[in-house]
């Protein structure tokens, strides 16, 4: 489209989803129970008692969904593999689970779409929780074995591999505050879980490469951190938040260092940082908005306050819409890591805009179009400033189970009627298709 900058012929255009959010079929073909099955079936954990039992029924409808992606015109599809489909008890291999992803990958290739697989998007086998789950260092070896199994089956056809998705969110919400599965409230003790995820990342990079994977990297969540005011207390609080949220999950991989040394130190062994800092081919970045931080009240449990300023535009999830924060997050990473920063793929970006079909069956989600256009322009600004970005994956291809919010928030380019499983491309679907077409036309 003429009002958007050009991204070049090699730029990858894609969409993203995650297994528990779309697949359903939780009791089929030998799949084991995941921590999200347990969590969502626990009263009071998920809004309206929603679960991912059916979700978008993608397990049965994947062929139609891939055909719709082909109509959208994307180059690549980022999906996640359900660990409990592959190893229902965390140990035994279930061939029918591997067969499903075989079929999905082949169907994508038949439509000219690059399979881009995420090994872990938060749905670990529930059976591993009996041994402590991600609090147990041994899970890194379990994860490496899982990576080997999947890699040996699919790496001949998968274009790019993402190891773990949003380690910071899984750490802080799943293990720090208990808002997400597995619902643990460890406070800063959750950073030990972060360390084990970093180890699992390193071991899975090794396993995937040994299995023949061509491109491997993590998919991290990063945000620009903004002090709410210019006071020293707010600046200090924002600096600490940045260390915990951003740098703790990237410094070990890129700089072979732990940025919270002397503040919160994980239980580690000699050689851990060498293992974590495996060479990667790209850095996947999920990002939606900046985070404002203020000083904590005296005696507060955490040493910063996550602030929601007045006077900003927000999406239906209550997240602020600030496109220049996208630019500044990316240029900030370049300033921090310099030549250590690998090429970047934007693996998630989007928003909850909950428009529903009108009487004519059309979903007029202009707010999603405006958000995406503004963030693509902001992305181009970062690229013009020297940040090496090679692709953009919109979150999400279709409406889905939005974790603790259940089905109340809609992020998709495609509207889903959860009662009938009807798919209805929104206005944003047609707009994104036109963007991709225009980029290819030059």
Q: How many CB atoms lie within 10 A of CB 301?
A: 8
Is 246 annotated among the ligand-binding residues? no
Which residue has tokens 């970045």?
A: 285
Instruction: Give catalytic status of residue 348 as yes or no.
Output: yes
Beta-strand pair 216-221/225-227: unpaired
Is 258 annotated among the ligand-binding residues? no
Q: Which two tokens stand for residue 326?
A: 């996208």
Q: Which of 114, 348, 355, 381 is catalytic?
A: 348
Is 392 annotated among the ligand-binding residues? no
Task: Please give the C-alpha separations between residue 42 and each of 21, 50, 53, 141, 332, in angstroms, as whole numbers.
Answer: 17, 10, 13, 29, 40
CA 195 – CA 198 distance, rounded (Å): 5
Q: Which two tokens stand for residue 381?
A: 């600004």
Query: Is-contact 13 72, C-beta < 8 A?
Result: no
Rg over alpha carbons for the chain, rounded to the nearest Å, is 21
Q: Any bridge partners for residue 424, and if so which?
A: 415
Is 114 annotated among the ligand-binding residues? no
Which residue has tokens 């200090």?
A: 236
Reference 397, options 40, 71, 26; nearest CA is 71
Is 403 annotated among the ligand-binding residues? yes
Is 222 annotated among the ligand-binding residues? no
| Length of the chain in terms of residues written | 442
Is 288 annotated among the ligand-binding residues? yes
CA 161 – CA 324 distance, rounded (Å): 29
DSSP per residue over 318-362, as a string?
Answer: S-B--HHHHHHHHHHHHHHHGGG---EEEEE----------TTS-
Q: Which of 23, 166, 355, 381 is catalytic?
A: 166
Q: Which two tokens stand for residue 114?
A: 């690059």
Catalogue the active-site residues: 166, 348
Binding residues for substrate are: 21, 121, 165, 288, 395, 402-403
Binding residues are: 21, 121, 165, 288, 395, 402-403
């Amino acid at each position: 489209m003429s009002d958007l900058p050009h991204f070049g012929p090699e730029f990858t255009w894609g969409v993203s989803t995650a297994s528990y959010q779309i697949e359903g079929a939780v009791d089929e073909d030998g799949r084991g129970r995941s921590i999200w099955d347990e969590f969502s079936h626990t009263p009071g954990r998920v809004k309206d008692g929603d679960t991912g039992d059916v979700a978008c029924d993608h397990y049965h409808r994947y062929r139609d969904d891939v055909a719709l992606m082909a109509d959208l015109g994307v180059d690549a599809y980022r999906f996640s593999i359900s660990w409990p489909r592959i190893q229902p008890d965390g140990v035994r291999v279930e061939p029918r689970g591997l067969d499903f992803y075989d079929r999905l990958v082949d169907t994508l290739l038949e439509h000219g779409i690059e399979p881009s697989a995420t090994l872990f998007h938060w749905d670990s086998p529930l059976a591993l929780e009996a041994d402590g789950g991600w609090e147990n260092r041994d899970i890194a070896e379990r994860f490496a074995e899982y990576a080997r199994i999947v890699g040996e089956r699919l790496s001949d056809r998968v274009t790019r591999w993402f190891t773990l998705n949003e380690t910071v969110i899984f750490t802080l919400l799943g293990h720090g505050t208990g808002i997400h599965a597995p619902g643990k409230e460890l406070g800063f003790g959750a950073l030990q879980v972060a360390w084990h995820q970093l180890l699992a990342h390193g071991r899975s990079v090794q396993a995937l490469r040994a299995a023949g994977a061509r491109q491997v990297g993590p998919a991290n969540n990063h945000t620009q951190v903004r002090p709410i005011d210019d006071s020293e207390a707010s600046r200090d609080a924002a600096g600490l938040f940045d260390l915990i949220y951003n740098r703790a999950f990237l410094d070990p991989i890129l700089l072979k260092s732990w940025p919270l040394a002397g503040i919160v130190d994980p239980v580690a062994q000699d050689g851990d940082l060498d293992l974590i800092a495996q060479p990667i081919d790209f850095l996947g970045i999920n990002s939606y908005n900046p985070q404002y931080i203020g000083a904590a009240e005296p005696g507060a449990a955490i040493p910063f306050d996550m602030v929601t300023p007045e006077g900003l535009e927000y999406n239906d999830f209550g997240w602020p819409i600030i496109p220049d924060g996208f630019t500044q997050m990316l240029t900030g990473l370049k300033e921090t890591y310099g030549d250590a920063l690998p090429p970047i793929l934007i693996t998630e970006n989007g928003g909850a805009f909950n428009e529903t079909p009108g009487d004519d069956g059309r979903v007029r989600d202009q707010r999603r179009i405006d958000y995406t256009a503004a963030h693509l322009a902001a992305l181009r600004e970062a690229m013009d400033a020297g940040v090496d970005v090679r692709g953009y994956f919109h979150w999400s291809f279709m409406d889905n189970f939005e974790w603790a919010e259940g089905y109340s928030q809609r992020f998709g380019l495609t509207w889903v009627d959860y009662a009938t499983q009807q798919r209805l491309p929104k206005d944003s679907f047609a707009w994104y298709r036109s963007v991709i077409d225009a980029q290819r036309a030059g």
